[in-house]
Amino acid sequence: MSAASTTQSQRENWEGEARGLAHPVDGKLDTRHGAILYLDDVTVSFDGFRALNKLTLDIGVGELRCIIGPNGAGKTTMMDVITGKTRPDSGSVFFGQTIDLTRHTEPEIAQLGIGRKFQKPTVFEAMSVHDNLALALAGNKSVWASLRSRLTGAQRDRIGELLATIRLTEQHQRQAGLLSHGQKQWLEIGMLLAQEPQLLLLDEPVAGMTDAETEKTAELLLTLKGKHSLMVVEHDMDFVGSIAQKVTVLAEGSVLAEGSLAQVQADERVIEVYLGR
């Protein structure tokens, strides 16, 4: 399925609106065909080396998709293309039917409703868990203005909900720098959720976590599925097995295999390039 059926004027119309509004995606993302993200024939070359090679995949609305593949397969480059950090040499990248992501900047793409979590947590260590979430809710207001302004009842409720979702209610007054590695990762996920992304990209969310933290992260992501669409890049196969519906295996910049974890684990080509014999 491609977004090519959308007329140019529909796209321009939408993009015009998108640039002018604070929350342009509210109720407006066109996912009539069931997918939230389309990559079609995307190629990215670095000095002649194809990090992505005619990559085609789409993510369904509310889906939790796991992406696996060997080092250098192009997983990070794919996320860079989706979030506007890297421009493809060719191919198309659409958010819903109508938003051509290659025509937007990184901040615009975040505003459009795509949140990205990098591997390393980047919370404000000197501030409390609560204040980190309050800042994230304030969005692009200046840090000092948002810390000084009093929270509305709705904002307080939202922070309460976020704390419960990320399982940090009891730690809300704790300084973020004192949290465990796993708790910092959850806080950062909470900060992304505060911006109400429709699509969340997570890069190795359980790297460095204890087994108990990994389990809790799996529970957390399963609660987000449906409300958000998620793309999770992970090497930890037990974790992938605990959350995945559908797994995409990338290799040499293209999709090598796609299906349930059991299906891709049984695929000879996947065993060859990634899982080992």
Ligand X SMILES: Nc1ncnc2c1ncn2[C@@H]1O[C@H](COP(=O)(O)OP(=O)(O)OP(=O)(O)O)[C@@H](O)[C@H]1O
Is the Cβ of residue 72 or residue 91 nearer to ligand X in the bound state? 72
Residue 251 CB, nearest approach to ligand X (Å): 9
Residue 103 CB, nearest approach to ligand X (Å): 21
H or E segment and range at residue 233: strand 229-233
Is the Cβ of residue 8 or residue 71 nearer to ligand X in the bound state? 71
Residue 73 CB, nearest approach to ligand X (Å): 4
Amino acid at 242: S
Residue 262 CB, nearest approach to ligand X (Å): 22
Is the Cβ of residue 70 or residue 197 nearer to ligand X in the bound state? 70
CA dihedral 84, 73, 225, 136 (to 10 degrees): -40
Is the Cβ of residue 75 or residue 116 nearer to ligand X in the bound state? 75
User: What's the angle, vertex CA 236, arms to CA 234 and CA 240, rounded to 5?
Assistant: 70
Closest to 158 measured CA to CA, from 118, 195, 205, 111 = 195
Burial class (CB in 10 A: 0-12, 13-18, 19+), 198: buried
Closest to 109 measured CA to CA, from 118, 117, 100, 97 = 100
Is the Cβ of residue 196 or residue 258 nearer to ligand X in the bound state? 258
Residue 71 CB, nearest approach to ligand X (Å): 3
Residue 236 CB, nearest approach to ligand X (Å): 12
Helices 129-138 and 181-194 sit at what angle, rounded to 10 degrees?
30
User: Token digits for 142?
Assistant: 């200046």
Closest to 256 measured CA to CA, from 231, 274, 236, 237 = 274
The SS3 call for residue 65 is: strand
Is the Cβ of residue 44 or residue 187 nearer to ligand X in the bound state? 44
Residue ranges binding ligand X (CB under 6 A) = 46, 51, 69, 71-77
Question: Tokens 């090497």 belong to which residue?
Answer: 235
